[in-house]
Structure 1
């Protein structure tokens, strides 16, 4: 299965309009058919990824929502999604793909870095942003992702100069790359190629961040 079928979007749209346990139970056989087709697509994508990266594991997310702490009590997600983890402590970052009738997208990077990683990234940016700016301003990065995204502080983090020339990067709390797709693009025969090409375009960014997060400020490895 190397493409996403229209029937998958049709099912997810109908699920959104009937997001209750009774309807889902009645239509579970169709859900299982669509889920299997999408899983096959993700497995094909993983085989592509393995040709240019070292993938540790693939996680396909369950359709069931955790509603314990949410105001939205609808029991089911109205999308399919999965993630791919890079192998070993030296390879940082991860890949994500969501198939959604309203807005499908892929993403990669660092959603919620721990305080040690966040501090290390900021200290690197404080010293020198030549390499990261070359990456995010490159023609290929802009073609696929537009810009580096993520939430940021309104002012400088504690201990950093708010007048620093690179304060725009230092203020960031997340470091994410995103590419959105229209329904037409997702249903096109070359969608697998486009997703794979996008993930491949993340590599310079991942390689740079991996080097930062596995070394100290002197460039010495901190990995045993």
Structure 2
């Protein structure tokens, strides 16, 4: 299947789902989800796979077993490309939802040993400075740094550490929002994402290298 862009109806679908997140609505609009959301996302990721690898297209169903929010369906469609088999939570991300389209990359979670390895690299004078340089370039290019952060210093690190702000991250995912840019509805969206993911590659490679255990 060739990617031709997302239809306007993809946003309409998520606007409506946010209002009525029910099985009744879902069953009545399942065909629209497939044709307007999932199939275009699959085609988009297939187009990018030659350079970045195969993507995981996330299921639309929420895991509500331990959640206070029991609404059954996700109000976005995400896709993720892992950077390497041994780094399943590090790579590239794309998402369409009611607020628009966005891309991201980095690492969205890390187990204890991997996070410890990342923090050890941040502490290293050369490796830590390298990460700072990468992130400075990304923010200068319009990326917004996002991720789960501790409010204080992680155990074993001083609040006076020169890179304490980086050490606080438990996940790190720079984000760029496309909003409702008309490119979303065209085949050129693949080229836009390709350029942005290439821009994230130094960060993804840094995490892949230094997050090994």
TM-score by length of 2: 0.84
Q: CA deviation at 1:100?
A: 0.5
Paired residue for 1:87? 84
Find the partner of 1:168 among 165, 169, 179: 165
Deviations 1:63-97 (A, max 9, x none): 22222222322222222221112334389822121
Gaps in structure 2 of 5+ consecutive residues: none
Kept in 2, the 8 Å contact 1:157–1:171? The answer is yes
Find the partner of 1:207 among 196, 205, 208: 205
Distance in 1 (CA, whole Å) between partners of 2:62 and 2:112 is: 28
Deviations 1:153-209 (A, max 9, x none): 222222222212121112222222111121235635332222121111111112222
* Residues 106 and 27 (structure 1), Cα distance of their counterparts in 2 relative to 1, 3 Å cut: same
Paired residue for 1:28? 30
Is 1:158 matched with 2:186? no
Distance in 2 (CA, whole Å) between partners of 1:114 and 1:88 is: 15
Q: CA deviation at 1:116?
A: 1.0
* Residues 84 and 155 (structure 1), Cα distance of their counterparts in 2 relative to 1, 3 Å cut: same
Kept in 2, the 8 Å contact 1:99–1:105? The answer is yes
Distance in 2 (CA, whole Å) between partners of 1:186 and 1:81 is: 18
Structure 2 counterpart SS, 1:164: coil
* Residues 26 and 154 (structure 1), Cα distance of their counterparts in 2 relative to 1, 3 Å cut: closer
Larger Rg: 1
Gaps in structure 1 of 5+ consecutive residues: 215-221
Kept in 2, the 8 Å contact 1:152–1:171? The answer is yes
Kept in 2, the 8 Å contact 1:101–1:183? The answer is no
The worse-fitting range, judged by mean Cα deviation, of 125-134 and 65-74 is: 65-74
Aligned CA-pair RMSD = 2.5
Paired residue for 2:190? 192
Paired residue for 1:111? 108
TM-score by length of 1: 0.80
Kept in 2, the 8 Å contact 1:63–1:76? The answer is yes
Deviations 1:85-117 (A, max 9, x none): 233438982212110022432221112211111
Kept in 1, the 8 Å contact 2:17–2:75? The answer is yes
Paired residue for 1:135? 134
Structure 2 counterpart SS, 1:10: helix
* Residues 49 and 155 (structure 1), Cα distance of their counterparts in 2 relative to 1, 3 Å cut: same
